[in-house]
Amino acid sequence: MTDGKIVNPILRGFNPDPSICRVGDDFYIATSTFEWYPGVQIHHSRDLKNWRLIGRPLNEARLLNMEGEPDSCGVWAPCLTWSDGRFWLVFTDVRRFDGNFKDTHNYVTTAPSIDGPWTDPVYLNSAGFDPSIFHADDGRKWFLSMVWDHRPDRSFFNGIVMQEYDADRQRLIGEPERIFSGTELDYTEGPHIHRLGDYYYLITAEGGTGYGHAVTVARSESLHGPYQADPNGPLVTARDDPDWPLQRAGHGDIVQLEDGSLYIVLLVSRHFGESRHSPMGRETAIQPVELTSDGWLRLPWGDALPRVEIDAPDLPAFDVEPEIEHDDFDAAELNAVYQWLRTPSPERFYTLSERPGFLRLYGMESPGSRYTQALIARRQTEAVFHAETSLEFDPVSFQQMAGLILYYNSSKFHYLYASTDDEIGKHISIMSCEADFSLKTRYPIDDARVPVPKGQRLRLRFDVDCDVLRCSWALGDAGEWNSIPAELDVRFLTDQAGVEGGEQFTGTFIGVCAHDVSGRRACADFDCLAVRPAK
């Protein structure tokens, strides 16, 4: 049986907006992926403590293509459910984010197994985002989402609506019903309905996805309402305690175990160093929930603060292999930890077969491109870590670059790269974009670029200590490390950085990349990528 404690977050690194589904003894969590491809992360567990990434279902062009979509758009807030012998996945593909309008296209796809095959997505509507489906006991299905209101004289968040979904005709029918207007916290989104006993419980996210975030609960004896908000206030929030270790707590979904006990999964964030910035972005935590004698959901300790450690439920242990730390790229397929940006056609820029034992990247568009970047990356999961790569790359133009990158989005990255120019030949340099929404880049060591010989393997290294990034390099497999005298600020690589701080929603990734803005697609061969938490 499972011993001891569950330590939060259970899904570390960028894993927001969790939806949880139980099928027999198996639990599945689906989380948002935004502009990272493939879309939707699904983790599996049998003990609620140990989780294994088992797939990303939106993994081909017929299911998802995000080329050209802005940062922090793409796949928002999926909902995963099980009904009628099938998995149901609803999600939003966001095409526009800035300004009064949002283009938010909602789809549903189903599969007989969590491994697929997933049906062609059925378009539902574009009225809002954060969709979910409630499967009623009578067999009818109800689609929920928030409604986006672009009008300037009211809140953008126009409440929660519900509309019937006809699965046979694959379309919404009838008129949408507004079932909940939200509380004074505003920003009402992320709806999920669950039937428990005599009530339908509407779980929502409110207060915005920053430090005022919260999980709120409303209930009704009728599916169609009216829904009464919990007079006790939010079920989970850290909005009133800025020093609490798990911040931004909100956007939750509940699950009931076989013994009747209840748990909620929700997003949280950890902050380190002197700031409240979190490069890991919004992560997933779990908390026990109790149903009180008067029929409200409460955390068992009597307040709304999420705990870092909770008691593990009495379930059979679920063994999970730890994520790979050192990848030699010897496998025939890319390890599951990696993603890339937006495109369903990564074969245009990466291969593991042309030079076995190496990840070969063909240089594509510029750093920050919204279309095709040759960038393969994995989530940052800890505040203190080391990352290292080894590459062979001999550029012939200043327009060709390859190396190691710490990447949040097109306006937030630090890039340690090799290139060449007419003055010093092949060299190592650093390029940073420090939350500048004009996408203007800075070159911290431009006057101290490091000359390196052609034809030799390079090793590049990042050492991250909370808010500070330090870079170093070495020649060959055994050469000594050489520090680069520059300290880079990691706080720029967070949701909170920039003039629109708090309105971007992903997390920092560690990756390897190649860029060739000449269009000649110069290739770089990477022999490894290692990412290890500092001991």
For 31, residues 6+ apart whose C-beta sits below 8 A from its C-beta are 11, 15, 16, 17, 18, 19, 40, 41, 43, 78, 284
Task: Note the Cα 210 to chain centre separation in Å.
Answer: 15
Q: What is the pLDDT of residue 501?
A: 63
Task: Average the pLDDT over 120-136 and give the result.
Answer: 98
Nearest to 337 by CA among 118, 73, 38: 38
* Per-residue pLDDT tens over the stretch 448-503: 999 999 999 999 999 999 999 999 999 999 899 999 999 999 999 999 897 666 67
Task: Kindly tell me the burial class for residue 313, based on how many C-beta atoms sit within 10 Å of its own C-beta (0-12, 13-18, 19 or more).
Answer: middle
> What pLDDT band is residue 315 in, cutting at 50, 70 and 90?
very high
The neighbour count for residue 377, using CB atoms within 10 Å, is 23
DSSP symbols for 123-146: EEE-S-S--EEEE-TTS-EEEEEE
CA distance 494 to 498: 9
* Per-residue pLDDT tens over the stretch 26-68: 999 999 999 999 999 999 999 999 999 999 999 999 999 999 9
Q: What is the pLDDT of residue 339?
A: 98
Q: How is residue 364 annotated by DSSP?
A: B
Q: Say which of 47, 69, 71, 189 is annotated catalytic.
A: 189
> Is 238 a residue whose pLDDT tops 80?
yes
Nearest to 133 by CA among 182, 88, 76: 88
Mean of the per-residue pLDDT values for the chain?
96
> What pLDDT band is residue 234 in, cutting at 50, 70 and 90?
very high
Q: Residue 446: phi, psi to the nearest 5?
A: -60, -35
> Is 521 a residue whose pLDDT tops 70?
yes
Q: What is the pLDDT of residue 1?
A: 46
* Per-residue pLDDT tens over the stretch 74-95: 999 999 999 999 999 999 999 9
Question: CATH number of 326-533: 2.60.120.200, 3.40.47.10, 3.40.50.1240, 3.30.830.10?
Answer: 2.60.120.200
DSSP symbols for 186-210: ---EEEEEEEETTEEEEEEEES-SS
> What pLDDT band is residue 332 in, cutting at 50, 70 and 90?
very high
* Per-residue pLDDT tens over the stretch 390-422: 999 999 999 999 999 999 999 999 999 999 999
Catalytic annotation present for 71: no
The neighbour count for residue 169, using CB atoms within 10 Å, is 9
Task: Average the pLDDT over 12-29 and give the result.
Answer: 98
* Per-residue pLDDT tens over the stretch 190-217: 999 999 999 999 999 999 999 999 999 9
CA distance 457 to 402: 13
CATH of domain 5-311: 2.115.10.20
Catalytic annotation present for 495: no
Q: How is residue 120 annotated by DSSP?
A: P
Q: What is the pLDDT of residue 499?
A: 67
Q: What is the pLDDT of residue 273?
A: 65
Domain ranges of the chain: 5-311, 326-533
> Is 434 a residue whose pLDDT tops 70?
yes
Please, what's the b/e burial string for 443-473 (b: 16 or more CB within 10 A of its CB; e: otherwise)? ebbeeebeebeeeeebbbbbbbbbbebebbb
Task: Average the pLDDT over 172-194 and give the result.
Answer: 98
> Is 359 a residue whose pLDDT tops 60?
yes
Answer whether 103's CB lies under 8 Å from 152's CB.
Answer: no
Q: What percent of the chain shows pLDDT beyond 70?
A: 99
